[in-house]
């Protein structure tokens, strides 16, 4: 039994502003009225203004930011521009790393940029299938964490949440087994505890083909405090089923 879950949807490049608004009002109707479940929707930039102020119970997140405040960076969005539009921001999603060439160094710079304007970063880490097969899962995750958090004060690290998303499980229908996910989550919590002294309340989310059929078992793992849901967050029905499963696992 747990005290708190974060249930987050990553819409990726789906939903117009109008579709986003409709989703929020439909989801709001289905939301269980319980403290202890934090719901966040990571929406396209173009939906953020439309979603703003629609629900006091659904947090809004952006899917990316650029680390400079302003300048000649065509097509980019800064943290300052997101201020007041989003509560959270995804940083280092594997699609950003793989398709758009984001490096550990870029990801490291994005975190203080987000924190400086009060955005809460959800940092994503995860190994590829080849890395897992070579037995490099832990060293890959450790390398990504160390690179992303380098130079951050303990108090700043405590303002983050982290999502473990094995790249081979994203959009493939093939989720990590609850035991595989728990192994990596336990490692991350231990790594954070060594850095911070205590990481018992630090939100660690699992992502990668999470759906209503597997979310309950994943969320029941000791070190899994939430899920980051891609495909199954696009429909109110499946996303709210996942939220409801988390409610069943909360301390009464």
| Residue 157 Cα to chain centre, angstroms | 15
Q: Which of 38, 127, 131, 165 is catalytic?
A: 165
Of residues 8 and 149, the one with the C-beta less far from ligand PGA: 8
Of residues 10 and 221, the one with the C-beta less far from ligand PGA: 10
Of residues 111 and 170, the one with the C-beta less far from ligand PGA: 170
Quote the least distance from Cβ 172 to ligand PGA, whole Å: 7
Quote the least distance from Cβ 174 to ligand PGA, whole Å: 9
Phi-psi region of 84 (alpha: psi -120 to 50; beta: other; left: phi over 0): left
Quote the least distance from Cβ 64 to ligand PGA, whole Å: 13
Report how far residue 218's alpha carbon sits from residue 228's, in angstroms, rounded to the nearest whole number. 11
Tokens 């579709």, residue?
Answer: 19
Q: Compute CA distances 111 → 125, 152, 166, 174, 183, whole Å.
A: 14, 9, 21, 30, 26
Are 26 and 56 contacting, i.e. CB atoms less than 8 angstroms apart?
no
Nearest to 180 by CA among 234, 231, 141, 123: 141
| Neighbouring C-alpha atoms within 13 Å toward the C-beta of 44 | 13
Footprint on this chain of ligand PGA (rule: CB under 6 A): 10, 165, 170-171, 207-210, 228-231
Quote the least distance from Cβ 35 to ligand PGA, whole Å: 25
Of residues 152 and 236, the one with the C-beta less far from ligand PGA: 236
Examine the residue annotation and report whether 185 is marked as an active-site residue of this protein: no
Catalytic residues: 93, 165
């Amino acid at each position: 039994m747990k005290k708190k879950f974060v249930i987050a949807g990553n819409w990726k490049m789906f939903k117009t502003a109008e579709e986003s608004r409709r989703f929020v009002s439909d989801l709001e109707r289905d939301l269980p009225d319980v403290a202890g479940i934090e719901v966040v929707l990571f929406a396209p930039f173009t939906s953020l203004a439309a979603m703003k102020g629609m629900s006091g119970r659904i947090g809004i997140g952006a899917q990316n930011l650029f680390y400079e405040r302003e300048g000649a960076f065509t097509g980019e969005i800064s943290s300052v521009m997101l201020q007041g539009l989003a509560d959270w921001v995804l940083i280092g999603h594997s699609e950003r790393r793989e398709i758009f060439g984001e490096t550990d160094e870029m990801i490291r710079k994005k975190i203080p940029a987000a924190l400086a304007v009060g955005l809460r970063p959800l940092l994503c880490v995860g190994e590829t299938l080849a890395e897992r097969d070579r037995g490099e899962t832990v060293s890959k995750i450790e390398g990504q964490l160390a690179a992303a958090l380098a130079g951050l004060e303990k108090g700043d690290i405590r303002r983050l949440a982290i999502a473990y998303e094995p790249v081979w499980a994203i959009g493939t229908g093939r989720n990590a087994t609850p035991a595989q996910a728990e192994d990596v989550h336990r490692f991350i919590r231990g790594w954070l505890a060594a850095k911070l002294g205590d990481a018992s309340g630090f939100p660690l989310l699992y992502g990668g083909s999470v759906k209503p059929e597997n979310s309950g078992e994943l969320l029941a793992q000791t070190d899994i405090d939430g899920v980051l849901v891609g495909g199954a967050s696009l429909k109110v029905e499946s996303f709210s089923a996942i939220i409801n499963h988390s409610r069943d696992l909360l301390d009464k």
